[in-house]
Amino acid sequence: MLSKKCKYAIHALIYLAERYQKGPVHIQEISEKQHIPKKFLEAILLELRNAKILHSKKGKGGGYYLHKKPEEVNLIEIIRHMDGAIAMLPCVSLNYYEPCEECRNEEICGIRDAFIQVRDQTLKILEKSTLSHIMKRQKIMEKL
């Protein structure tokens, strides 16, 4: 399950992607439009800036804006920065592997095998789910 922090990060990034190349957006505006507590949002945006997903500009007319194009930022990148592992079990994680305490032999573990397949399909979907793709899907769904 995604953390609230991760969900807020995705919503903030989509909001910024909708305003891509239109200049910096002030934290207060993102907070109000996306219903994200301002203090929490400040920490999230700083983390995304440190991850080089966002840039910021100080002073009058300042705020945050995307460092990358919306089609270059996918959900894998966001989730990993905000929440860490994407896999549901630590023994199948690509970046955060840990052996399971309960497992006797992970090479023949049927549970692990099933969750490797879940992980692989999840990664395929999240990799295609860029900010640009999400915005396009939203527009299509609005018309339905």
pLDDT tens-digit series, residues 58-114: 988 899 999 999 999 999 999 999 999 999 999 999 999 999 888 889 999 999 999
pLDDT mean across residues, the chain: 95
Q: How far is CA 104 from CA 88, 118, 139, in A?
A: 19, 21, 49
At 94 the pLDDT is 93
Element (H, E) at 38: helix 38-50
At 101 the pLDDT is 87
Q: Mention every residue, 6+ apart, whose C-beta is less than 8 A from residue 96.
A: 84, 85, 87, 90
User: Would the pTM of this model clear 0.85, i.e. be above it?
Assistant: yes
Task: Write the pLDDT tens digit of every residue in 28-40.
Answer: 999 999 999 999 9
Average pLDDT of span 122-131:
97
- Cβ-count burial of 58 within 10 angstroms (0-12 exposed, 13-18 middle, 19+ buried)? exposed
CA-closest candidate to residue 78, choices 136, 130, 34: 130
At 137 the pLDDT is 94
> What is the domain partition of the chain in residue ranges?
4-66, 85-128
Task: Write the pLDDT tens digit of every residue in 95-109.
Answer: 999 998 888 899 999
Chain centroid, CA 41 distance in Å: 14
**Cα torsion at 86, 89, 93, 99 (round to 10°)?**
150
For the structural domain made of 4-66, what CATH number should be given? 1.10.10.10
At 144 the pLDDT is 83
